[in-house]
Structure 1
Amino acid sequence: MLTRLTVLILSIVLYSFFYVLTAPGWFYIKDTPLACAIKQNDPHTFNSLLETEDFEIKDGSGNTPLSIAVDEVNYNFTKELLEKGANPNARSDFADRPIICEAASRVCYPRFNRSKDTARDIVKLLIKYGADVNARTILGETAILRAARCGDAKLSTILIKNGANVNIFSRQGVPLHQAIYKSRRSKSYETIEALIAGGANPRVKNYKKDYGKTAIDLAKGYNDLKLLKILEKSNSTASLSSYTSERTTLTYKDRRIESILYRYGIYLPAYKINFITKYPFLFIILMLPTLIACLTGVVKKDVFLITAGALQPHIIVAGFILILFIGDSS
Structure 2
Amino acid sequence: MNRIFSIIVSFGILTMCFLPWTLAAHLMLSFGSEETPLMKALQHYGSEVVVQKMIAEGKAGSLEPGAGYDGPIHYTIPNLRNSTKFMPILNQLIDAGADVNEFDRSGPPLLDAAFANDTEVIKFLIKRGADVDRQNCYGETALMKASQTGHAEALIELLNSGANKNIRSRDGTTALDKAKTERIKGLLNGTQH
**TM-score, normalising length: structure 2:** 0.76
- Aligned-pair distance for 1:174? 1.2
Of the three residues 98, 115, 119, the one matched with 1:86 is 98
In the alignment, structure 1 residue 20 sits paired with structure 2 residue 30: no
Distance in 2, Cα, partners of 1:38 & 1:72: 6
Matches within 5 A, 1:71-110: 71-72=78-79, 74=81, 75-76=86-87, 77-92=89-104, 95=105, 97-107=107-117
- Aligned-pair distance for 1:125? 0.5
- Over the aligned positions, Cα root-mean-square deviation in angstroms equals 2.8
Distance in 2, Cα, partners of 1:4 & 1:142: 45
Letter in 2 for 1:140: G
Residue number in structure 2 paired with 1:35: 39
Letter in 2 for 1:81: L
Change (3 A) 1:133 1:4: farther
In the alignment, structure 1 residue 176 sits paired with structure 2 residue 176: yes
| Contact 1:37–1:45 (Cα < 8 Å) also in 2 | yes
Of the three residues 39, 59, 68, the one matched with 1:60 is 68
| Contact 2:165–2:175 (Cα < 8 Å) also in 1 | yes
Letter in 1 for 2:102: A
| Unmatched tracts of structure 1, length 5 or more | 108-118, 184-188, 198-229, 234-330
Residue number in structure 1 paired with 2:53: 48
- Aligned-pair distance for 1:128? 0.2
| Contact 1:136–1:142 (Cα < 8 Å) also in 2 | yes
**TM-score, normalising length: structure 1:** 0.47
Task: Provide Cα deviations, 1:36-86, integer angstroms capped at 9, x if missing partner.
Answer: 22335311210111122245144431x221121134462433233234442
Residue number in structure 1 paired with 2:149: 150
Between the two proteins, what is the percent identity of the paired residues? 24
Letter in 2 for 1:15: W
Name the SS of the counterpart of 2:140 in structure 1. Answer: coil
Give the aligned length.
Answer: 174
Distance in 2, Cα, partners of 1:96 & 1:191: 23
| Unmatched tracts of structure 2, length 5 or more | 1-8
Change (3 A) 1:135 1:28: closer
Change (3 A) 1:102 1:7: farther
Distance in 1, Cα, partners of 2:77 & 2:13: 42
Matches within 5 A, 1:129-278: 129-170=128-169, 171=171, 173-179=173-179, 182-183=180-181, 189-197=182-190
